[in-house]
Amino acid sequence: MDPYRVFFPLGLAFAIGGSLLWIVSYYGSLAVWPSVLHVDWMMSGFMVAYVLGFQMTAIPRLTGTPTASSFEILLPALPLTIGGLVSLTFPEIRPVLLAGCFALCTIVPFALKRFKHRKHPVPSSFVFLAVGIGAGISGSAILFTGVFNEFSYSSPNIGAFLLYRMMVPAIVLGIGSQLIPYLFGTQTTLIPENATSA
């Protein structure tokens, strides 16, 4: 099974749930103000699920290596799902943030294994994938441990910057620089001939 078939619906569930939090809160059905829970569901649930679904599907195809195994898909999907359910009862411990951090960590051995056994050269722009995943993991860990300030829009911190503002743009740069020329027909394959072979 392609990973996106698991992670895209999971991400969609987080997006819908994260949006519905405000409606439920408006009618007084939530005991807490949902701002932090909303951010966790949207960034560590929705965005992380889509990042995983896209990368775990694209990396094997771009490297000519085997697709993700059921174990490699379930390893990040189950903690994200459980984190989402636990956060309904214990939002203050930020279980989705922790699950998102763990899920991003699982992409590292997955990608390294495929890059090691690749049959196609790896484009140099893929360094941005590593930067994006590293930013997501670091930002999640900093926010979860509370090393700096707790989350607030008035006092942004390094963890929020890394997770909320750096992760996705870096990943888009890494993949988009290959995908956009392909989609516009200026490049005939996703892997250009001048890509790095080592």
From first to last of its 198 residues, the chain has per-residue pLDDT tens of 899 999 999 999 999 999 998 888 888 777 677 888 899 999 999 999 999 999 999 888 888 899 999 999 999 999 999 999 999 888 888 899 999 999 999 999 999 999 999 988 888 888 999 999 999 999 999 888 874 455 554 445 788 899 999 999 999 998 877 777 766 777 666 665 555 554
Contact partners, residue 65, CB within 8 Å, separation at least 6: 59, 113, 114, 117, 118, 119
Q: How far is CA 119 from the centre of its chain?
A: 25
Q: At what angle do helices 70-89 and 48-63 cross, to 10 degrees?
A: 170
User: Which pLDDT belongs to residue 126?
Assistant: 87
- SS3 label, residue 122: strand
In this structure, the number of other CB atoms found within 10 A of the CB of residue 46 comes to 23
CA-to-CA distance for 26 and 34, rounded, in angstroms? 10
CA-to-CA distance for 99 and 77, rounded, in angstroms? 9
**Nearest C-alpha neighbor of 143 from the set 129, 130, 162:** 162
Q: Contact 189/182 with Cβ under 8 angstroms?
A: yes
In this structure, the number of other CB atoms found within 10 A of the CB of residue 168 comes to 18
Q: Contact 62/120 with Cβ under 8 angstroms?
A: yes
CA-to-CA distance for 194 and 57, rounded, in angstroms? 23
User: Which pLDDT belongs to residue 147?
Assistant: 42
pTM value?
Answer: 0.85
User: Which pLDDT belongs to residue 190?
Assistant: 62
